[in-house]
């Protein structure tokens, strides 16, 4: 009888200990979140993405942005990706062509960190001369319509198109999982995400790429499918 009682007490103690550990880890871990980007996987359309072309004070960009059924990052024929080109002309540094999306936050959202990124695939038809750069960019605004840019509250990640980058059958990730805007936490009303090709010099070549799975999470939030926890 005494052995059974001690066994029950030990079992309850282990259960309470595991429960407390789980609660502490849950409090310390980043919150589950949903991707704030709308149509991040380009499921059968570009909408609500729109074409982005650089403008003054940068050179005016020229190129195309369309939805294509293939390639898709997971080979889903019902999804697809964004196909982006930048034209041979203008052959001017910082001319850019791509896509962009603006989305509003709930109220005046306080932002301390941002986890953002996208996957790119570069066709073998590109000249591997470093004349263009594949870029993912974010910008924060004080209003809810991506009009009033908050000074310094923008970041980007890029990859020059050079020899030795992954083949045209490979998707690669450009991301920053801990971008910190100035004067954190700052209050933001909206964010803009852009994925584009940018001329790095006076290149007279045209370039193309595909973009898929664009993401943006705020304040240490973790994608649901990337976080898992077990207590035994």
| pTM (2 d.p.) | 0.81
Q: Is the pLDDT of residue 175 over 90?
A: yes
- Determine if residue 111 is left, alpha or beta; phi over 0 gives left, psi from -120 to 50 gives alpha, anything else beta: beta
Rounded distance between C-alpha atoms, residue 144 and residue 148, angstroms:
9
Task: Summarize pLDDT for 97-129 with one digit per residue, the tens.
Answer: 999 999 999 877 999 999 999 999 999 999 999
Element (H, E) at 177: strand 172-179
**Residue 64 neighbours by CB under 8 Å, 6+ apart:** 51, 83, 84, 85, 97
- Grade residue 162 by pLDDT with cuts at 50, 70 and 90: very high
pLDDT exceeds cutoff 80 at 229? no
Cβ 75 vs Cβ 35: under 8 Å = no
Give the three-state DSSP class for 26: helix
Question: Tokens 């083949």 sit at which residue?
Answer: 167
Most confident of 27-31, 73-77, 138-142, 225-229: 138-142
Q: What does the pLDDT read at residue 45? A: 97
The torsion region of residue 122 among left (phi > 0), alpha (psi -120 to 50) and beta comes to beta
Residue 14 clears pLDDT 90, i.e. is over it: no
């Amino acid at each position: 009888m005494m052995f059974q009682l001690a066994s029950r007490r030990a079992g309850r103690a282990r259960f309470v200990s595991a429960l407390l550990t789980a609660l502490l880890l849950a409090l310390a871990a980043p919150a589950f979140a949903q991707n704030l980007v709308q149509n991040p996987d380009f499921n059968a359309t570009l909408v609500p993405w729109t074409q982005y072309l650089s403008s003054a004070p940068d050179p005016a960009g020229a190129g195309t942005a369309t939805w294509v059924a293939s390639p898709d990052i997971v080979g889903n024929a019902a999804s697809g990706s964004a196909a982006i080109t930048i034209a041979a002309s203008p052959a001017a540094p910082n001319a850019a062509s791509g896509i962009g999306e603006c989305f509003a936050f709930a109220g005046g959202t306080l932002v301390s960190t941002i986890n953002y990124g996208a996957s790119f695939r570069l066709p073998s038809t590109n000249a591997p001369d470093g004349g263009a750069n594949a870029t993912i960019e974010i910008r924060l605004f004080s209003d809810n319509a991506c009009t009033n840019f908050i000074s310094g509250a923008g970041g980007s990640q890029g990859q020059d198109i050079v020899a030795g980058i992954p083949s045209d059958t490979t998707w690669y990730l450009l991301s920053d999982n801990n971008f910190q805007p100035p004067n954190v936490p700052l209050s933001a009303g909206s964010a803009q995400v852009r994925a584009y090709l940018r001329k790095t010099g006076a290149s007279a070549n045209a370039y193309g790429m595909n973009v898929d799975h664009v993401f943006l999470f705020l304040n240490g939030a973790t994608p649901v499918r990337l976080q898992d926890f077990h207590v035994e």
